[in-house]
């Protein structure tokens, strides 16, 4: 099964996230992912050596033509200032650096890594269309943009006869985020989900497994183990979602993490889930979760809608 971005760009439902690629045997991980049926790799200018290592791997394997690269640009500089870089100039600078690091002459999917609501959408859309027309990117989208900003950008694009954003990448999981995990991040609230249902724009979910919330490693009492997880996910509703996911998992003979991942893949609009396995068995379990079927009643029940 695939998520269609355009008639020419089909993404596997499970996208390999590479934010931690430098910490592991990356070639083995990439090989295992492709051998399991995956074709899409998520990276970013912000991810230190990730793009470089992916580029070297693709060159060794001679597989650039079958791999879909999703990379992200225009993230603030990695310093205390966190100054916005959502500008045409930064987009072009990062794109050129990504092309060089990845050892390729095109990017399948380019996403803006952050938004700056103070920046007008018009020059951003115009700049992205220039790169689309030049062939250096095949499609573009927005990561961590609200659906209202995406709609405004696409309204302008339609009026100007230009291509608008073709996908969104925000955080979507069975566990609802109480607040952003990192500055400038966006999670899919109910109105965002309904917006995607209405226009069927693909959503590529990062942290689709809610940082391991459903793994069994977290309990309501252990609030000091991981302060970020406590701050973002420790709510009574999420603990009930975990309990229901565990109950349904026991009935189906799978894990609660697999149920939670299947939830992301069973939305009423096109979705792919960005996964970050650290061990081969975690990768295998994710692909097994892709095959898991959830009924509409089960989806509603684990999401506290019934």
Active site residues: 47
What is the CB neighbour count within 10 angstroms for residue 230? 15
Phi, psi angles (nearest 5°) of residue 64 = -55, -35
CA distance 41 to 68: 6
* Alpha carbon of residue 112 to chain centroid: 12
d(CA 133, CA 282): 39
Nearest to 58 by CA among 80, 46, 81, 41: 41
With left for phi above 0 and alpha for psi between -120 and 50, is residue 302 left, alpha or beta?
alpha
300 vs 31: CA distance, rounded Å: 36
């Amino acid at each position: 099964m695939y998520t269609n971005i355009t008639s020419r760009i089909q993404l596997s439902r499970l996208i390999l996230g590479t934010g931690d690629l430098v910490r592991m045997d990356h070639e083995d991980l990439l090989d295992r992912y492709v051998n399991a049926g995956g074709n899409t790799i998520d990276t970013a200018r912000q991810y230190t050596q990730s793009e470089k290592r992916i580029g070297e791997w693709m060159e060794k394997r001679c597989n650039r033509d079958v791999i879909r690269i999703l990379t992200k640009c225009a993230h603030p500089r990695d310093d205390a200032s966190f100054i916005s870089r959502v500008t045409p100039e930064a987009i072009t600078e990062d794109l050129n650096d990504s092309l060089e690091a990845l050892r390729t002459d095109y990017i399948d999917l380019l996403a803006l890594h952050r938004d700056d609501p103070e920046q007008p959408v018009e020059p951003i859309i115009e700049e992205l269309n220039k790169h689309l027309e030049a062939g250096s990117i095949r499609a573009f989208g927005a990561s961590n943009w609200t659906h209202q900003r995406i709609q405004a950008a696409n309204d302008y694009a339609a009026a100007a006869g230009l291509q608008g954003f073709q996908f969104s990448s925000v955080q979507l999981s069975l566990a609802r985020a109480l607040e952003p995990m990192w500055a400038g991040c966006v999670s899919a609230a109910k109105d965002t989900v309904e917006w995607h249902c209405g226009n069927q724009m693909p959503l590529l979910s990062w942290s689709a497994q809610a940082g391991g919330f459903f793994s069994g490693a977290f309990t309501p009492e252990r609030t000091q183990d991981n302060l970020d997880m406590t701050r973002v996910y420790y709510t009574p509703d999420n603990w009930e979602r975990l309990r229901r996911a565990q109950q349904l998992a026991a009935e189906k003979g799978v894990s609660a993490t697999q149920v939670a991942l299947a939830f992301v893949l069973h939305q009423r609009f096109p979705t792919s889930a960005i996964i970050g396995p650290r061990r081969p068995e975690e990768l295998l379990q994710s692909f097994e979760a892709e095959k898991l079927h959830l009924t509409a009643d089960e989806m509603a029940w684990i999401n506290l809608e019934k």
